[in-house]
Every structure is written in C-alpha cells, then in structure tokens.
Amino acid sequence: MGIDPISSFQKTCTFDCIYCQSGRTEVFSCEREVFVPTDEVIRELRSVPDVAVDYITFAGNGEPTLAKNLGEMIRAVRMVRSEKIAVITNASLIDRKDVQQDLLLADRVEAKLDAASPDSFKKVNRPMFDVIFENILQGLSGFRKIYKGQLVIQAMFTAANKAEAPRIAAMALEIRPDEIEINTPLRVSPAKPLPPEDIAEITAIFRKACGDRIKVRSVYEAKLEESRPFSRPATERRRGKENL
Ligand code: SF4
C-alpha cells in the first residue's frame, strides 16, 4: 500500500529521469518542506478498507525524501498500523543527516542507482545542477554503515545506460545492499523497455559480480503487480486524472 508524501498535482523532484512514468518534472526542488500534514495522512490511512497489506510504502509523484515530515509520518503510521514500512527514494538527498535520520525509521529503503559516472547520471537522471553524483554514492555508503534494515539498490536500464551495467554492478556491490533490483520501464514510459534477453544479460552481469552475497532480482522474473487507488476521487483530487 502506497503513501504519497508529496501528493501534488505537479511532480516535484530533484531528478527528471528519461524514463519517468509520471512525465516530466514540473517542480525541481532540493528544499525539504511539508507537502501534506501528517495528521491528514493518518486520517486517510484510518479510512482504508481492511485489506491484506505486506508493506506500507512511501513513494509517489516525486521524491518522497523532499517531505520534511517523512520521519514524523513513519512514526505516526507505526502507531496505527502493524505492517512493515518501506521508502522508495532516488537517493539524491541521502548524504544529508536529516534525511538519513528519517530513512533509518523505515524497515526497507529502496534507492536508485542508474549510472556509473557523472556524465551518464546527467544523461539518464537529468538531476538539478546542485545534485552531485559522488555525494549520492558517499551518502549511500554512509547510510549503509548505520542502517540495520533492508537496503535495496534499484537500477533502471534502458538503451541509454545498458552498456554501463558492469560498472553500475561494481558500484552497487561496494555499497553492500541486501538486494539489487534490475528494472526496465514496463509501465507507460517515455523510454522504451529493454527486451527480456538484454535484461537477462544485465542480470547475469550483476549476479556474477555479487555471487551469493547479494540477492539480485530481475523485473522479467517478477510478477508485475497491478496497483489501484483505494479512493479514486481522493487521488484524482490530489494528482489529476492523467496520473492514475
Ligand atoms: S526520481 Fe523517480 S519521480 Fe523523480 S524523475 Fe526519476 S523516476 Fe521520476
């Protein structure tokens, strides 16, 4: 079950990834702010029908760590729900201590790594100019040292970065995550997905690099889960119909 801590009509992010399934970034920002008051999230969460949920996941229309109240929201969700909590982040702010403190509260953190050099980072993730690739790598390594939960590196592959797979695998290995997920955009996206044979080749590169130490999952080996809003009118009100 997803919670969108940005919940805005306009996608608010530090990146403008070439494959973003939410379209182009409309608001670029590195400033953390409160987009949705915590009590509003909790009120909506209390109204969710009683369905089986494995994880409550913070993700959404932009970068969730931009929400200044992310840590407060995680704490508040724990008071009303017993499921594990995950955050899906692009890792652009993970070198910041306040962001690390918030992410430490989650049971699982899934962090993006799609590039092996500052040049390809700019080409694939199209970050704001003040987001520095090396800071992300240092931030991820620093966070790994203090984080006891499950750290997952998510790498999205398209034609733009498939040649970099061996170098991305080496960098991911250095971070020492618990898992690595190999993705390609299978939902509606401005970038074409790679075919299964390319993803199988990339997955084999990662598996060879990681051995038994790190579990490597591939998007074509996983069942594609459908997602739907609990309250379509509420989601439409927040995001506009085109994002549903
Ligand atoms: S980080 Fe996520 S939300 Fe931001 S542009 Fe990339 S894919 Fe889209």
Whether 151 and 181 have beta carbons less than 8 Å apart is answered as no
Query: Mutate which of 63, 112, 131 to test ligand 1's pocket (most atoms within 8 Å of Cβ)?
Result: 63
**Rounded Cα–Cα distance for residues 5 and 7 (Å):** 6
Categorize the per-residue pLDDT at 227 as very low, low, confident or very high, splitting at 50, 70 and 90: low
**Any atom of ligand 1 within 6 Å of the Cβ of 35:** no
Q: What is the mean pLDDT of the chain?
A: 92
User: Would you say the CB of residue 169 lies under 6 angstroms from ligand 1?
Assistant: no
Identify the residue whose C-alpha is closest to ligand 1 atom 3: 62
Strands 179-183 and 108-112: unpaired
Average pLDDT over residues 5-20: 94
pLDDT above 80 (res 229): no
* Cβ–ligand 1 contact at 4 (below 6 Å): no
Query: How sure is the predictor about 235, in pLDDT bands with cuts at 50, 70 and 90?
Result: low
* pLDDT at residue 238 tops 90: no
Choice from 4, 8, 10, 13 to test ligand 1 binding pocket (greatest atom count within 8 A of CB)? 13
Whole-angstrom Cα distance, residue 126 to residue 129? 9
Asked if the model's pLDDT at residue 81 lies above 70, the reply is yes
Nearest CA to ligand 1 atom 8: 20
Query: Residue 241's pLDDT is what?
Result: 47
Give the pLDDT confidence score for residue 244 in this predicted structure: 44
How far is ligand 1, taken at its centre, from the CA of residue 127, in Å?
A: 10
Q: Which of 25, 27, 90, 187 to mutate to test the pocket of ligand 1 (most atoms within 8 A of CB)?
A: 90
Q: What is the pLDDT at residue 239?
A: 53
Rg (CA), the chain: 17
Side-chain half-sphere exposure of 1, counting CA atoms within 13 A: 20
How far, CA to CA in Å, does 97 sit from each of 49, 162, 181?
A: 36, 32, 25
For position 236, what pLDDT does the model report? 60
pLDDT for residue 49? 83
| Dist. CA 79 → ligand 1 center (Å) | 29
Q: What tens digit of pLDDT does each residue of 42-77 get?
A: 999 999 887 889 999 999 899 999 999 999 999 999
Determine if ligand 1 sits within 6 Å of the CB of residue 20.
Answer: yes
- C-alpha angle with apex 241: 238 to 242, nearest 5 degrees? 115
The domain 2-243 having CATH identifier 3.90.1150.10: the answer here is no
Q: In the predicted model, is pLDDT for residue 39 greater than 70?
A: yes
pLDDT digits (tens, 9 = 90+) for 138-169: 999 999 999 999 999 999 999 999 999 999 99
* H or E element that contains 187: none
pTM: 0.92
DSSP, collapsed to helix, strand or coil, labels residue 36 as coil
Sequence-ordered list of residues with C-beta below 8 angstroms from that of 217, at least 6 positions apart, any chain:
179, 180, 181, 182
User: Helix crossing, 165-175 with 196-210: angle to 10°?
Assistant: 40
Write the pLDDT tens digit of every residue in 185-206: 998 999 999 999 999 999 999 9
